[in-house]
Amino acid sequence: MRVLVTGGAGFIGSHVVEALTARGHDPVVFDRRDRPGADVREPAAVARALDGVDAVCHQAAKVGLGDGVADAADYVAHNALGTAVLLSAMAAAGVGRLVLAGSMVVYGEGHYACPRHGTVRPGPRAVRDLEAGRYEPKCPVCGSELATGPVAEDAAADPRNVYATTKLTQEQLAAAWARSEGGTAVSLRYHNVYGPRMPRDTPYAGVASFFRSALARGEAPRVFEDGRQRRDFVHVRDVAAANVAALEADTGRGALTAYNAGSGVPHTVGELAGALAEACGGPAPVVTGEYRLGDVRHITADSSRLRDELGWKPEVSFEDGMQEFARGR
């Protein structure tokens, strides 16, 4: 299969290209870092890139929490407009298979249950609570403590920041394209991806990259809130394998199917910082109590649908992945 990989020279995209090649496919890289003028917002460039292509793996996006709403227009231009241009070109070229780099950020907070009211969806955390060190969301009905658990794909979308809103928009556009064109569309909702080639020292990098950069400077990783935020850290090679599985699967036409792509083994942000510090032989993490508006407290994955329907499973353990990541590979 000849597969156009947008963002194919980037962090995740480059691993997808390698995984496709290893499976005998023919990946075509479309990335501004690799080819001047390769911009998904440019219809002519996208149309040329789709010539002879059987499927598209859409990894190109502006990622991360960013700078509040100051860079909202840039997020919308890259993620929403870029996806719309790509889908229009795919319809014109008759390319009917799409795998989208989705994100767990579309859920907002993860799964919460109140002992009295069952499953609930707490709203955004108030600044006054964050400043007072009250980080855990409470039941929006009675104010009780909540139990947390993995979120499944049927959870309602509740994006909490600009980036999250554009990732949901990408899914909605892909679903509209699939219905209109009878296409096959899959969104892999990545959880916290880490590993080789992860961007460093930018406001849009992930927390694992921030911690590793601090340790490389001989500094202690700075852990926000109390460090007990729960996340699902999944290795980039496992995510690349999920993309190949989705491209090869028969998921049906005319609709978008979403799959969580996570390790299934939650860890706290503090545990991540501690594991990296130990692997790097660096100073122990410092818990600062700082916070970022738009961050959610807990979000972990139920990836059983991806395992059951596509036969995928993660292969890189947290411990092995942290050792490799600490070595900078």
Residue 321's CATH number = 3.40.50.720
DSSP 72-108: HHHHIIIIIIHHHHHHHHHHHHT--EEEEEEEGGGG-
- Residue 143 within a domain: no
Q: Residue 255's domain spans which residues?
A: 2-110+151-327
- Residue 83 within a domain: yes
- Residue 142 within a domain: no
pLDDT tens sequence across 150-195? 999 999 999 988 999 999 999 999 999 999 999 999 999 999 999 9
> pTM (2 decimals)?
0.94
Backbone angles phi, psi at 58, to 5 degrees: -95, 95
- Residue 245 within a domain: yes
- Residue 126 within a domain: no
Domains contained in the chain, number: 1
> Which residue's entry shows tokens 């545990």?
271
Confidence (pLDDT) at 179: 98
Share of the chain above pLDDT 70, in %: 97
pLDDT tens sequence across 255-302? 999 999 999 999 999 999 999 999 999 999 999 999 988 789 999 999
Confidence (pLDDT) at 37: 75
Q: Positive or negative CA dihedral for 186, 190, 196, 199?
A: positive
For residue 124, count other CB atoms closer than 10 A to its CB: 15
- Residue 128 within a domain: no
**Cβ distance 259 to 187 under 8 Å?**
yes
- Residue 209 within a domain: yes
- Residue 116 within a domain: no
